[in-house]
Every structure is written in C-alpha cells, then in structure tokens.
Amino acid sequence: MKKSRILFTIVVLVAFLTSCKNESDEYFDPRGTDYAGSESCIQCHQTQYDMALKSSHFKATAPAISGNVLGDFDKGNHIFIYDKNTKLVMEKRNDSLYQVLYKNGKEVEAHRFEIVFGTKHAQTSVYWRDHNTYELPVSYYNSIHNWATSPGFPADKPYFDRIVVKDCYSCHSSNISSRNINQTSQDKNFLSMEVEDVIDKKTIVYGIDCERCHGPAKKHAEFHLKNPDVKIANSITSFKTLNRQQKLDACALCHAGNDGMKMKSRFDFKPGDNLSDFYRNTRSITDTAQFDVHGNQFRLMSQSKCFIKSEKMDCITCHNPHENASKNLASYSKICMSCHQGLKHNETTLKTMSGSSLTSNCVECHMPKKSSGAIKFQLSDSKQLSDYILRTHKIGIYTNNKK
C-alpha cells in the first residue's frame, strides 16, 4: 500500500513538471529556431501582449477570415460599379469572402480575400496566384465607411494583375520569403539569398509581432522561466537600453517612406542595428520638398523644430508602440505643455480659440490633418478622386489648415 502511494505521488509530480514547460518548446517559427512566437510572451507580459493584440501594428496583415475583414458583403454597400455593364460585388460564399466581377449580368471571374492589409484607416486585400499575391482592385475605407478603388487602381475598368511583392510585406508583416523554413535565423548568408520572386505561404508571420521589434526571444523565454526572480531582461533587446538613434531607427525602418535605396532585406533588421546598413535615403532629411503624410512620419518629425532642438525626443515620447495612437488629443497636449509651459499665443489665435482649447488641443493646430499625395481613391460609379487624409508629423505653425 505504501509503495502504491509513493508511485502515485511520483506520477502526479511528473505530470505537474511536464505541464510547467516553456510555451515555445513545441513552437516552430519560419524565421528560425531562436524565435519563440509572440504567445510565449503572454506568460510574463500579459498586459503588453493584450494591448498589442488589438493594435494596428499587430493587425498590419492578417488572414482574411471572418472578424478580420472590414466592410459589408450582404448589404447595399457591397457593390462597386465601373459602368452600366460592369460591376464588382463583394460576396460571401460558404466560409470565404470574394470580389466577383460581373459583365452584362454574368460572372466573369472571382477572387478570394486571402490576406488583408491594415485595419485603422483603410484595408486592402490580396489573393494568391502562382506562388505570389495580387492586390484586389477595391478596398474598404473607414473614412467613408464604404468600398472604393484600391490606391492607384482605375475606376473605369477592373484590374487583377498588380503583384504585391515581398518588400511590401516588410512593413506589414514580421516575415515572408521564398526560402526554406528549416533554417535557423543565424544563417545570414542563406537568408539574404532571395533569388526567386515567389512567396512561400509557410513563411508568413502575420502583423508586426513582439519579436519583430524586440528580436528573437527563445533564449529570453527559457532563461526567465528558469530564473523568475531576475528582473533585468536577458537575451532580448530592451528599448530602455537603446540610445536615441537606435530607437528612432527601429521605428524609421517602416515609418520613413519607401523611396530610398534598399541595401539588405528589412526583415533582417534587429532592434539596435543601424538603419543605414539596411536602407539608405536618397533624399536628405533637410530636403525642403514636402514629404507625403503617408508613411513618412519619421522624416516629417525630423524636420520639426521640437525634434531638432531636443536631445531626447523620439517616437516613444508621444506613442506607446504596444497600442494604437490615442484618440484623446488632450493626452498629447500634456506632452507638448511639458516643454512649452507659459507659451503665449498671438492675438489672432486667441480670438479664434478659447483658452481651454488652446491648452487641450495642440495637435489640431500644430499637427493638422493633410491630404496624401501618394494615395487617392474613387467611389463607385464616380470619376472624382477622393483624398486620403492623415495627420502630419511635422510639428509647426500652420497659418492655413485647409486640407
């Protein structure tokens, strides 16, 4: 009887110890064996993970399943008209979503939503064909709560042949490539060999995940699960340890436009690396030409006197990268006022705005919303171009805030 109790205790103990294992032990990441996957972060960073999961960063790309795709598919706002004989209809077929082209009432072709890009301002989608992805001609825009042409697509005829190459994913996903998935991320020579312009579905890591910004976390997770009392981050990049330029480079990787010369794949960039080794600007940051509000947040901020005169200001001064930008503009005003206390506005401004508005809405005047020159779209059955409007990151004094 005593032996039976001892045996039972041993079995229970073994079962308990087996259940207390690293969540990343059985996880396989296409980036290599030193990656743990974002879910491994939950064990110690539940709060940050929960915030990030809802953020636009995390949803920069996602599989086009129910809940991820914006827009109507079975109501009045699900049809895009090209002309009296041609229309594109957003349709739900079984468990999948499609853009279906009809001519003279007959179905000509149908393409399934397979990957969605974006969720905050707008959302465009792609479908798979011959080991590549192609952009669907109609996108959903939150500003109008309706479907309109995808950026750069014509409104007079349907077009399904615009390829979305791997570099497009470098700022919308954490990994995608044509390489085999059984390599470690340490094999630098192999990883840089992107000979074929094809995409392997198995290599996709959707959205901007934890390890895209903090680097491979397998060793980090293993160490801290074994040493829970150690509070200093081990085998991971903590942004607290980075200098100002390193922090800026980590954000500028995707928020400094895409018109520069690419030296190496941006997927190989790790926090703490020098951006100039991966991506070289062909235009000086002091260029007097106006940078577009879409995708140029870093370069616009860098032209601001606030940034130039500060030794500490960076992107994290105003933004928590784990969550979306706050809709409470007063929260940004507090940050502004921490440096601009006692600042007096001119008489013209004082006549047009109340004192309370001046102290709680700095952003509206000094970072106004502007129309993007890079992105325009057209509504169904319309020849008129509509503006894609975003808030500029060039902090300044604007005498005319017209869009």
372: helix, coil or strand?
strand
What pLDDT score was predicted for residue 351?
Answer: 67
164-183: b (≥16 Cβ within 10 Å) or e: bebebbbbbbbbbbbbeeee
Beta bridge partners of 390: 370
Checking if the pLDDT of 193 tops 50, the result is no
Chain centroid offset of residue 216 CA: 19
Checking if the pLDDT of 186 tops 80, the result is no
Rounded Cα distance between 136 and 80, Å, is 12
**Residue 263 tokens, joined:** 């030296």
Beta bridge partners of 133: 128, 164
Rounded Cα distance between 66 and 132, Å, is 23
Rounded Cα distance between 51 and 376, Å, is 31
Rounded Cα distance between 145 and 178, Å, is 36
274: helix, coil or strand?
coil
Checking if the pLDDT of 69 tops 90, the result is yes
DSSP-derived pairing of the beta strands 122-129 and 115-117: antiparallel
Checking if the pLDDT of 120 tops 80, the result is yes
**Residue 91 tokens, joined:** 């349709």
Checking if the pLDDT of 24 tops 70, the result is no
Rounded Cα distance between 392 and 367, Å, is 5
Burial of 3 (0-12, 13-18, 19+ CB in 10 A): exposed
Q: What is the pTM of this model?
A: 0.85
Amino acid at 35: Y
User: Between the ranges 201-210, 275-284, 344-353, where is the mean pLDDT highest?
Assistant: 201-210
Instruction: Name the band, by pLDDT with cuts 50, 70 and 90, for residue 182.
Output: very low
38-52, 75-89, 142-156, 353-367, range with the lowest pLDDT: 353-367
**Residue 109 tokens, joined:** 């072709």
What is the full DSSP assignment across 95-123?
TEEEEEEEETTEEEEEEE--EEE-SSSEE
The DSSP letter of residue 326 is P
Contact 14, 8 (CB under 8 A): no
Checking if the pLDDT of 3 tops 60, the result is no
313: helix, coil or strand?
coil
Instruction: Name the band, by pLDDT with cuts 50, 70 and 90, for residue 144.
Output: very high
302: helix, coil or strand?
helix
137-146, 169-178, 323-332, 340-349, range with the lowest pLDDT: 340-349
**Residue 8 tokens, joined:** 């039972």
Rounded Cα distance between 369 and 392, Å, is 6
Phi/psi of residue 389, nearest 5 degrees? -110, 130
What pLDDT score was predicted for residue 385?
Answer: 87
Instruction: Name the band, by pLDDT with cuts 50, 70 and 90, for residue 242.
Output: very high
